[in-house]
Amino acid sequence: MLDISERAPPFTLPDQTGKPVSLQGLLENGPLVLYFYPADFTPGCTREACTIRDLHGELVAARLQVAGISPQGMESHQRFADKYRLPFLLLSDAEKEVIAEYGVNGPLGFGVRRATFLIDQDGIIRDAVLADLRIGQHEDFIRQAIALQA
């Protein structure tokens, strides 16, 4: 996993509508909470996404952008976003290239580790958490990021 103070690797990935989204474009409007998750519709990932959805108003008020990345395709992301009314971008990394660049591949390259990064507008990682099964740590991390921006 990338360390705090490292430059976040640039990327361009399709969102749930097929539109290409770049790290640079996301950072144009403020710092970014970028989270990696294993799969759409799994219990832990659904809980995490819904937690972020419920915090979305506070994220916007703190001028924080948010995006999630997983290996599922755009269609899966669109169904997931629609079903749970997710107001943020879900990016498809089907080849797991960005997942690998951020160092969040699962053991032996299988799966994806649950990780969340706070990236400033200059593209520097300011904080990060890796907590595969402890969804609450990601919520705490995001709440702390909101408090720091307030």
Identify the segments of the chain with pLDDT beneath 70.
none
What's the CATH superfamily of 12-149?
Glutaredoxin (3.40.30.10)
Query: How many other C-beta atoms can be found within 10 angstroms of the C-beta atom of residue 144?
Result: 13
pLDDT per residue as tens digits for the range 45-89: 999 999 999 999 999 999 999 999 999 999 999 999 999 999 999
Among 113, 38, 22, 39, CA closest to 76: 39
50 catalytic, yes or no?
no
- Are 53 and 20 spatial neighbours (Cβ–Cβ below 8 Å)? no
What pLDDT score does 109 carry? 76
- Are 54 and 142 spatial neighbours (Cβ–Cβ below 8 Å)? no
Query: How many other C-beta atoms can be found within 10 angstroms of the C-beta atom of residue 35?
Result: 24
What pLDDT score does 108 carry? 78
Domain locations in the chain?
12-149
Q: State the catalytic residue, choosing from 26, 32, 33, 45.
A: 45
